[in-house]
Amino acid sequence: MIRTTIKMAIASLLLVSVCNAETSYGTVNGDNITADEVNQIVGVQGMKFDTLDKNMQKKVLDMIVDRKLLAQNASKAGLEKTDEFKQKLEMIKKDLTLNLWMEQEAKKIEKSTKESELKEFYEKNKKNFETPAELKASHILVKTEDEAKAIIKSLDGAKDVKAEFAKLAKEKSTGPSGANGGDLGWFPASKMVPEFSVAANKLAKGTFTKEPVKTQFGYHIIYLEDKKPAGIKKFDEVKEQIKGLVNRDKFNKLIETTVSNLRKDAKIELK
């Protein structure tokens, strides 16, 4: 139950964002379109209104206009006077109060978190910030071993191996990267099929495989442009990520502790 409450709390917190209530994006029959209303639509998606293109901004504002028109029309039905309306209004007030409380507590946590805590988390969890060894390579993929050997022979006599490799990849490679000169960009060695990874890892920078590399896809000639050893991201690179993790963990514990304490003194009768 506590875990469920925590999830609900976090979900609710994510939906709430304090904006400048004075900001107006227009009016509908005199009713302001506020920043809060705009943020309710774009904020949930992790976007900012000002970063959207003009067309998307118009769509967002049109959605709000339509909603306001419907709300204004609905208010003419006198629903505010019904018991059902009053009951639901009280529920909304309680939810809003909870959301505001959670937001305030989250801000307190964020303000109180010290850099020393973040560094301590980093030192204890360095394994989570490891980066795998990476290769930057190109390849030429052909159907037969004879085709691959012929290409290797052409490369052996080339003055500019990299340029010749790209040229031959465009002309002869059956792989999708052929159009780009066989360029595969940077990738973790483990991402490729084992035969390919082993052969590429053995290469020195600026060299290519002298024997065709057979895989389930055919025969490859691999050119290794560069390689990066495995490592660990520096603290400054992951500081913001860590801050989010630490603050979220603190918030979870706060909710869990608060709910646990409240349950001890509460009179709960379930049916």
Q: Which of 31-40, 130-139, 177-186 has the lowest mean pLDDT?
A: 31-40
pLDDT (tens digit, 9 = 90+) per residue, 52-90? Answer: 899 999 999 999 999 999 999 998 998 888 999 999 999
Burial code (b: 16+ CB inside 10 Å, e: under 16) for 114-152 equals eeeebeebbeeeeeebeeeebbbbbbbbbeeeebbbebb
pLDDT (tens digit, 9 = 90+) per residue, 121-180? Answer: 999 999 999 999 999 999 999 999 999 999 999 999 899 999 999 999 999 999 999 999
Under CATH, which number does the domain 133-229 receive?
Answer: 3.10.50.40
Query: Is residue 22 scored above 50 in pLDDT?
Result: yes
Closest C-alpha to 148, from 205, 199, 86: 199
Cα(240)–Cα(75) distance, rounded to whole angstroms? 45
Burial code (b: 16+ CB inside 10 Å, e: under 16) for 200-222 equals beebeeeebbeebbeeeebbbbb
List of residues 6+ apart from 84 with CB closer than 8 A: none
Domain with CATH 3.10.50.40 in the chain: 133-229
Q: Which of 4-18, 84-98, 100-114 has the lowest mean pLDDT?
A: 4-18
